[in-house]
Structures are given as structure tokens and as C-alpha cells.
Homo-oligomer: A and B are copies of this chain.
């Protein structure tokens, strides 16, 4: 795998997509940055983040917590870290959608901005996302809206990436 590639890893909940992305990152020469989009809003989330951080161990030089300004954080990190893992796109979309009553179109504009700046990032960037559209239509209108948003964002990101994997049962299927 050449350096500087942009890689998207999608999959369902507990599909092993993050572990797969992490192993891929750890096979590349570092230093490595882990860019977490999760917001620590309660103790449960805090413990979960701490556990994940411990699991990553010494192979990762820094954890950057950035729930909103993913674009800015990537541009700052790219000059220091040849490998950056973003975990995950779906939480980032959720954070933007829920803040400031953003509408899905505005959120998709931020996805477009991210895509525009990806080629300027010299690091290998491995982005983890969720596939959420393979169940029955949700009754909750917000869930339907988010499902559409995540699907559109994943299509845009996949088109902009060099390589795309779908992970199920911890095993990758190469889509691109």
C-alpha cells in the first residue's frame, strides 16, 4: 500500500471495522494520529474512550479529539503524522447535524469541503464510517433523515477515496 492514500472503511455496528482500520494503520510507518470525533458527554462514554485509547497502545503517538472541525484538524495533523485514522465519520455527521440546528444540506456541504481538502493532505488517511441503510425504513423522521445523510456522505467519500472496504464479522470486502 502506497503512502498518502485515502481509504474509507464502512460496516455495521460491531462489525470490527475500527479494528480492521487500526490494524491497517499500524502496518504503515508512523508516527500515527488517531482523530476521534466522539464527544465525551457522560461517564459511560468516557470509560469507553479510555478503554479504546488503552487498546491502541504505543503504536499511536497522539489522540486528537475533534467533534466538529474535522477539516481543520486534518490539515493541522497532516504535516506531523504520515498516518491519520478518523473514527468515525458517522459521529462527526451526527455532531454537526445536532449542533446549531444544521440541516442535512449544510452538513453535506461540510462533507464536500472535507473531500476538497483531502488531496492536499499528504498523510495516509483512513476514515471509518457506518453503513446504516440496510434495515427497514425507520419510523422516526430524524432517523430517516440521518440515514439519508449518512448514505449520501458515504457515496461522496467513497468516490473521493482510493480504496473502500466493507467490513462484516471482522472481515473486509474490497469495494474499490
| Chain A contact residues, CB within 8 Å of chain B | 8, 10-16, 131-140, 143, 146-148, 150-152, 154-155, 157-159, 164, 166, 168-173, 175-176
Residues of B within 8 A of A159 (CB): 170
Q: Cβ of B131 and Cβ of A136 under 8 Å apart?
A: no
Are B164 and A166 closer than 8 Å at their CB atoms? Answer: no
CB proximity of A138 to chain B, nearest CB, Å: 5
Give the nearest-CB partner of A169 in chain B.
B158
Chain B CB within 10 A, most for which of A12, A13, A138: A13
Closest-by-CB residue of B relative to A150 is B14
Q: Could you tell me the distance in whole angstroms from the C-beta of A130 to the nearest C-beta in chain B? A: 9
* Chain B residue at minimal CB-CB distance from A90: B137
- The answer to whether B175 and A131 have CB atoms under 8 Å apart is no
Please give, as numbers and ranges, the residues of chain B lying within 8 Å of A155 by CB-CB distance.
Answer: 14-16, 169-170
Q: Pick the contact of A14: B10, B133, B166, B169 (CB < 8 A).
A: B133
